[in-house]
Amino acid sequence: MKSVSRVLACSIVCGAALLFAGASHAQTWPARPVRIIVPFAPGGPTDVMARILAQKLSESFGQQFVVENRAGAGGNIGMNLVAKSAPDGYAVLLASSSYVVNPSLYAKAGYDPHKDFAPVTVAAASPNVLVVHPSVPARNAQELVALVRGNPGKHNYAQPGTGTTPHLSGELFRLTFKLDIVNVPFNGAGPAVASAVGNQTPIAFVALPPAMPHVKSGALRALAVTGARRSATLPDVPTMTESGAPDQEAETMQGVLLPAGTPREIVERLHREIVRAVALPEVKERLAALGFDAVANTPEEFAAYIRSEVDKWARVIREANIKIE
């Protein structure tokens, strides 16, 4: 009995010591530079977002937040790097919507979006946009549906790459309205937008930022954005629901996550500072220039968002038979 009591006492003491050590670590975090892992190459919207946050977080915490680009495999390399990092707050992931798409898109994404990370917040998001060349007679999404249905097999749409949320937006649109329309994948948003501007593929689903200057110049007509609300960047462009095509919500999010098991206090401290940062007028202005609106939801709201988005895109990927090995 005495040996059992000693083991029990040791377990209690050791457990308490670990809890104390964890609490102490959380209180002193960050005590050294923090890496923000961007799973894409430099220069894209996620990289720009990371550098905006890194500057503000470095100022607020008095410790350097350093952006590290780990591109490859559609973002899987960088996301797996953070998933396998120590849960101590010194490796932060800034992910885009590939985070919720890749587990269904790739045969082996390598990470579990529900179990391997602690969600912090969606810092910002941008809807996709349905655009057409001015020669297309449709003035809204409902008219485009009628146009395509009246000419089966004669239309196609440009999209920036297989498995991107603009591609999945296009497939969701096609599946919902049972359209005979072919998607034409391009290697990036720039070529897809250029093809629509040049009238080679006069219909396109693309992210809002690369399309925005062409919509404002009149080179493209925006029929609808895929957000639940209108974008502050193009406030005159209706949502899909307003344009007669409900249940088409899709966006490119910029989400901040930590490895699973990171102390709750670190999650909360990082969340508070990101909320404060994206509320700053100069940050909002920079986000708007990128075509993004600040979100800054709670960790619980972000976790619910992940569950919903993973399920939605898994269904679209399955029904459209999209797969990347």
Residue 291 within any structural domain of the chain = yes
Q: Are residues 119 and 184 in the same domain?
A: no
- Spatial distance between the Cα atoms of 93 and 258, rounded to a whole number of angstroms: 6
Lowest mean pLDDT among 21-30, 180-189, 254-263, 293-302: 21-30
Q: Which domain holds residue 97?
A: 31-125+252-320
Q: Are residues 108 and 148 in the same domain?
A: no
- CATH of residue 274's domain is 3.40.190.150
Q: Are residues 57 and 205 in the same domain?
A: no
Domain end marker among 225, 260, 294: 225
| The two structure tokens encoding residue 251 | 């966006």
Say yes or no to pLDDT of 169 above 90: yes
Say yes or no to pLDDT of 205 above 60: yes
Do residues 75 and 39 make contact, with C-beta atoms less than 8 angstroms apart?
yes
Question: The pTM is what?
Answer: 0.86
Q: Are residues 312 and 165 in the same domain?
A: no
- Spatial distance between the Cα atoms of 179 and 154, rounded to a whole number of angstroms: 11
Q: Are residues 161 and 220 in the same domain?
A: yes
Question: Of 299, 233, 259, which is closest to residue 89 (Cα–Cα)?
Answer: 259
- CATH of residue 170's domain is 3.40.190.10
Kindly give the interhelix angle for 264-278 and 299-320, rounded to the nearest 10 degrees: 80
Q: Are residues 138 and 107 in the same domain?
A: no
Residues above pLDDT 90, as percent of the chain: 81
pLDDT, tens digit (0-9, with 9 covering 90-100), for 97-112: 999 999 999 999 999 9
Number of domains in the chain: 2
Question: Of 145, 229, 91, which is closest to residue 157 (Cα–Cα)?
Answer: 145
Q: How confident is the model at residue 157 (pLDDT cuts 50, 70, 90)?
A: very high
Query: Three-state DSSP class for 58?
Result: helix
Residue 200 within any structural domain of the chain = yes
